[in-house]
Structure 1
């Protein structure tokens, strides 16, 4: 090696951020293996590289002992004193054994080590760079297809889009730029492995964050997302400001914001609903666009029993149960949908109705008592009346009978009304 090589190490340190000392240490370790392999040495050796001149020297390291048993790692005290009289038993003696042609081997080995370290450093940089982008949105170019996998060109590296993360029915073409969600970044022997997705719910969330300024500003929050990629999704949103409509903000003027997201997701249908802390209201909102009459929450079993009008049942369930299924994913509740005609309505004001019924019963009993008394009075008046056989008396009796009949009819009508 020479001064040019040392200068190259300085340049690598500046450009790649790899410490020169780390590189020299790695080269020295590699040269030890190269020396033993090429020269068949079994000695315990140390390689020293001058950081200033680039000169390489090989030293055999041996321990000073009284009686030598292993010539490769031990030296007698007598021989050690010939080198330097200061050596004692237990000291380590270093003897230079640099081969004449070792410079060429050293240069070749050093080059291999440096190249390997550069590759490792670049992999580390890429890993760190994309590790920070986990759960984030990135844009890449479709580079090639491998079996059913799609390899995405990210510039300095590739990302993997496996079949399980591809939208069914979506067409992919080489050279096409697409937005992707970073699911996971891990290390392998071949470098960083970047797993990306087109089906993850996080992709929908990140796309709306780009299109809706209110989300970026923190005025609107995406609380939950449920997706069946390529077909339909539901997203629950809330607002920290009473004046800001979270659903309207995400839909945008004339639906422009939501449409921009739809176009990037293979025309996937998106339902945007309002989040609510009350599970009954939230479940009802989640079944949009179906109309909901009532929701009964069973907290112990985490079940929401939903009642909808008969004509809305199919809409609430959705095609192949999709609407109900997505509502369940979005809310975290098992949704049981029933039509109105099948449900016995249980009023919430049952106690009030019971009180009214009790009052009505008492009124009816009071009426029956009064009715009985009136009938008795009528009978007394009838028996006490003198029925004159002549015409005038007969007419008077008929008037009295009609009057009694009218009174009885009024009482009967009042009774029916009660």
Structure 2
């Protein structure tokens, strides 16, 4: 090892963002193991690399004791004083034991350490970059499919789209371009692992933030999302500016904004409803496209009895109960839906609040 190597380490440190001292300390630690392995030594040794010249020296270290039991690790005070007259008990004596051909071993060891450290540094840089992008969406290209896992090339790293995060019925072909939502970035022995999703409600949120300037600018706020990926979603929005229609902003001119998102999600239906601080109004809106006659709320149990016209009952409940289920997720309330006829048969009071429930 020489001055050129030290200079190279310094340049490498600047390029990869690793301090040269950290690399040198790692090489020193690795050389201790290399020395013991190659020279069968059980001594306690220290390796020092001169930061200016690159010169390497190996020192055997011995503790100064009153009585020596292991001469590989201990030295008597009497013998220590022969080396230096001001030594005391419990001090450590160092003696240079650098082998003649240690340079060859050192060069090989240093190369291995540097390669390892570069890999670690690159992995850490990638981890830090993608860790800060959790809950964000990224464009990627389908690289391969293995055991139902889809591997997506994000440029610097491959992301994993597991079967549970894949949209039902969505086919993934090599070189397909996809928008995915970063759920988690994990550190593993093989480097950072990025887990992505196509089913997460956060994907829908991010797509609307990208597509609707009013959401990006904070004028329109997404209050809640309920999603059954690949089939149907509901989005509750609120405008902080009375002159801006929250639903209209999300739908866009001629429905272009929401249609772009529907296309990205392979035809998933999206209901955009107006959020309201009045829970009865919000529940009524959440059952869109069905019309609601009355909403009776139980604040303590967070339950709501919703009355709809007879001809709207199947629409309000939805296929296999989907519309009602999504409305419940969106509002956080348990929603029980009855038709006007059912309500009358059960003797339920139908509150005359249909006008208040509009919008």
Instruction: Give 1:238's aligned residue.
Output: 238
Instruction: Give 1:107's aligned residue.
Output: 107
After TM superposition, the structure 1 stretch with the greater mean CA deviation from structure 2, 57-66 or 278-287, is 57-66
1:346 aligns with 2:339: no
Deviation track 1:184-240 (CA, whole Å, cap 9, x = no partner) reads 111111111111000001101111111111111111001111111111100000000
Q: Which has the larger radius of gyration?
A: 1
Aligned length: 349
Matches of 1:346 and 1:67, distance apart in 2? 98
Relative contact order, higher structure (CA 8 A, sep 6+): 2
Deviation track 1:129-185 (CA, whole Å, cap 9, x = no partner) reads 111111111111111111110111112211110000001111211112211101111
Matches of 1:4 and 1:78, distance apart in 2? 43
Given that residues 343 and 350 in structure 2 are in contact (C-alpha distance below 8 angstroms), is that contact kept between their aligned partners in structure 1?
no
Instruction: Give 2:186's aligned residue.
Output: 186
Instruction: Give 1:118's aligned residue.
Output: 118
Matches within 5 A, 1:308-319: 308-319=308-319
Unmatched runs of 5 consecutive residues or more in structure 1: 350-418
1:18 aligns with 2:21: no
SS at match of 1:37: helix
1:326 aligns with 2:326: yes
Q: TM-score, normalised by structure 2?
A: 0.95
SS at match of 2:237: strand
Instruction: Give 1:355's aligned residue.
Output: none
**Pairwise CA distance, 1:92:** 1.3
**Pairwise CA distance, 1:120:** 1.0
**Pairwise CA distance, 1:347:** 6.5
Change (3 A) 1:208 1:108: same
SS at match of 1:267: coil
Q: TM-score, normalised by structure 1?
A: 0.81
**Pairwise CA distance, 1:85:** 2.8
Matches within 5 A, 1:124-135: 124-135=124-135
Unmatched runs of 5 consecutive residues or more in structure 2: 353-359
Matches of 2:143 and 2:179, distance apart in 1? 14
SS at match of 2:72: coil
Change (3 A) 1:297 1:186: same
SS at match of 1:115: helix
Deviation track 1:62-83 (CA, whole Å, cap 9, x = no partner) reads 1223332111111123332332
Matches of 2:276 and 2:74, distance apart in 1? 81
Matches within 5 A, 1:171-210: 171-210=171-210
1:148 aligns with 2:114: no
Instruction: Give 2:86's aligned residue.
Output: 86
Instruction: Give 1:4's aligned residue.
Output: 4
